[in-house]
C-alpha cells in the first residue's frame, strides 16, 4: 500500500529500503566514536553511519528541500531550490536507542516529513513514522489519512495492519529518567499509573512507544529536576511520535499542551514527552500543569 503523496512515498520507500541495510550494518558498528552529537549525547559508530546513509539518499529526493538529523548540528539544504514552497523538510533520528546496541535490545529509525522550513511545529507534519528493529523489522507510517503498520523484508514493505488505532483499554506504561530526579507532581502521577498498568520500559523510545500503540497505555520521558527541558528532541522524536499517536487516536503532551503545538526555538530543542490514551494524558496534565 503506497502513500498518496509521491514525495512522501519516495521518502518512506527510501527509509524502508534502507532499513534492511541499516539492520545488517549494525554488526561491527557497536562501538562509540569520539565527540558527541549536537545534543551532547555520545555517538555510536552506527549513529554516524546510518545518518550518512540516510542523509545522502533522502537529500537526493525531488521535492525534499531540507534534511536534518539528530546527529548533525546544521540543516542540509537539498535540491536546486531548498526554499521552494513545494519542498518538504525531512527530520530524522537515524538510530534511536543506540545505547541499546551494546545490550542487543530494540532500536529504531524515526522520521518526520514537515511541510515547513525547519525547525517547525509538529502540526506542519504531513507524514511521520518509524522503523522498529525488533525480532522482526516493522515500520509504522502515519499520514493525515491513516496509520499503517508494515513488515520489512528484502527492502520491500508488506502491510500488516491498516488504520492502526490505540486500544481503548490501557495496559502498559513506561517512564524514563530516574525516580529521584522526577518532580514531585510527576512522581505522584507515576505512583497512580504504576498501580494500574504493567511496566514496559526498554530504553529506546520506539520500542516503548510501539508497546503503547499495540497494547494501549502511556510512555513518558518527563521534565526532570536536573533537566526541566526534558531529554528527548522535539523535531526528531517528540513531533514525529506525537503525530503518530495522535493520528492513531491518542494524545501527546509536553506536560501542558500537545507536542504538535509547541513553537520551536532551535533545531535541537529538547522537550518533555508524553504520549498515550486520552484519559492518561488528561490526568498527567491535570497533575503536572
Q: Is 266 marked within a binding site?
A: no
Alpha-carbon distance values, 114 to 6, 89, 120 (Å): 14, 5, 7
Beta bridge partners of 96: 108
Cβ proximity to ligand AFP: between 182 and 221 the closer is 221
Q: Is 97 marked within a binding site?
A: yes
Chain centroid offset of residue 57 CA: 19
Q: Is 99 marked within a binding site?
A: yes
In the complex, least distance from residue 159 CB atom to ligand AFP, rounded to whole angstroms: 26
Q: Identify the helix (H) or strand (E) that includes residue 196.
A: helix 184-196
Q: Is 234 marked within a binding site?
A: no
What is the Cα–Cα distance from 234 to 272, expressed in whole angstroms?
Answer: 9
**What DSSP designation does 126 have?**
E
Q: Is 67 marked within a binding site?
A: no
Nearest Cα neighbor of 139 from 1, 288, 43, 281 is: 1
In the complex, least distance from residue 222 CB atom to ligand AFP, rounded to whole angstroms: 11
Q: Is 95 marked within a binding site?
A: yes
Q: Is 198 marked within a binding site?
A: no
What is the Cα–Cα distance from 139 to 110, expressed in whole angstroms?
Answer: 10
Contact 273, 221 (CB under 8 A): yes
Chain centroid offset of residue 23 CA: 17
Residues in touch with ligand AFP (CB under 6 A): 41, 96-100, 176-177, 203-205, 221, 231-232
In the complex, least distance from residue 14 CB atom to ligand AFP, rounded to whole angstroms: 22
Cβ proximity to ligand AFP: between 79 and 203 the closer is 203
In the complex, least distance from residue 263 CB atom to ligand AFP, rounded to whole angstroms: 22
Cβ proximity to ligand AFP: between 42 and 286 the closer is 42
In the complex, least distance from residue 271 CB atom to ligand AFP, rounded to whole angstroms: 12
The position carrying cell 525531512 is 90
In the complex, least distance from residue 5 CB atom to ligand AFP, rounded to whole angstroms: 28
**What DSSP designation does 181 have?**
G
Q: Is 98 marked within a binding site?
A: yes
Cβ proximity to ligand AFP: between 181 and 185 the closer is 181
Cβ proximity to ligand AFP: between 5 and 96 the closer is 96
Cβ proximity to ligand AFP: between 118 and 273 the closer is 273
What is the Cα–Cα distance from 216 to 248, expressed in whole angstroms?
Answer: 11
Beta bridge partners of 219: 174, 275
In the complex, least distance from residue 254 CB atom to ligand AFP, rounded to whole angstroms: 15
Cβ proximity to ligand AFP: between 14 and 211 the closer is 211
Contacting residues for 240 by C-beta, under 8 A, at least 6 apart: 91, 110, 111, 112, 122, 125, 128, 129, 130
Q: Where is the binding site for substrate, in residues?
A: 96-99, 201, 231
Q: Where is the binding site for Mg(2+), in residues?
A: 70, 93, 95-96, 237
Q: Where is the binding site, in residues?
A: 70, 93, 95-99, 201, 231, 237
Amino acid at each position: 500500500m503506497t502513500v498518496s503523496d509521491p514525495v512522501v512515498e519516495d521518502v518512506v520507500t527510501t527509509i524502508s529500503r534502507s532499513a534492511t541495510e541499516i539492520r545488517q550494518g549494525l554488526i561491527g558498528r557497536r562501538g562509540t566514536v569520539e565527540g558527541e552529537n549536537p545534543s551532547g549525547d555520545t555517538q555510536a559508530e552506527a549513529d554516524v553511519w546510518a545518518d550518512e546513509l540516510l542523509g545522502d539518499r533522502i537529500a537526493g529526493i525531488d521535492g525534499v528541500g531540507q534534511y536534518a538529523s539528530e546527529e548533525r548540528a546544521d540543516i542540509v539544504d537539498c535540491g536546486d531550490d531548498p526554499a521552494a514552497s513545494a519542498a518538504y523538510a525531512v527530520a530524522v533520528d537515524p538510530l534511536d536507542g543506540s545505547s541499546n546496541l551494546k545490550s542487543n535490545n530494540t532500536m529504531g529509525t524515526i522520521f518526520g516529513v514537515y511541510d515547513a522550513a525547519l525547525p517547525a511545529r509538529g502540526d506542519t507534519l504531513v507524514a511521520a513514522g518509524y522503523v522498529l528493529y525488533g525480532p522482526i523489522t516493522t515500520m509504522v507510517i502515519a499520514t493525515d489519512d491513516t496509520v499503517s503498520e508494515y513488515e520489512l523484508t528484502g527492502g520491500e514493505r508488506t502491510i500488516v495492519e491498516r488504520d492502526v488505532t490505540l486500544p481503548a483499554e490501557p495496559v502498559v506504561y513506561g517512564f524514563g529518567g530516574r525516580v529521584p530526579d522526577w518532580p514531585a507532581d510527576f512522581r505522584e502521577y507515576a505512583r497512580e499509573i504504576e498501580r494500574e498498568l504493567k511496566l514496559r520500559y526498554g530504553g529506546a523510545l520506539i520500542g516503548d512507544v510501539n508497546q503503547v500503540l499495540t497494547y494501549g497505555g502511556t510512555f513518558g520521558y518527563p521534565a526532570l529536576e536536573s533537566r526541566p527541558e526534558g531529554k528527548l528532541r522535539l523535531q526528531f522524536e517528540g513531533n514525529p511520535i506525537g503525530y503518530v499517536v495522535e493520528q492513531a487516536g491518542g494524545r501527546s503532551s509536553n506536560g501542558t499542551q500537545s507536542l504538535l503545538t509547541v513553537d520551536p526555538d532551535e533545531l535541537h530543542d529538547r522537550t518533555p514527552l508524553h504520549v498515550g490514551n486520552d484519559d492518561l494524558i488528561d490526568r498527567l496534565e491535570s497533575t503536572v500543569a
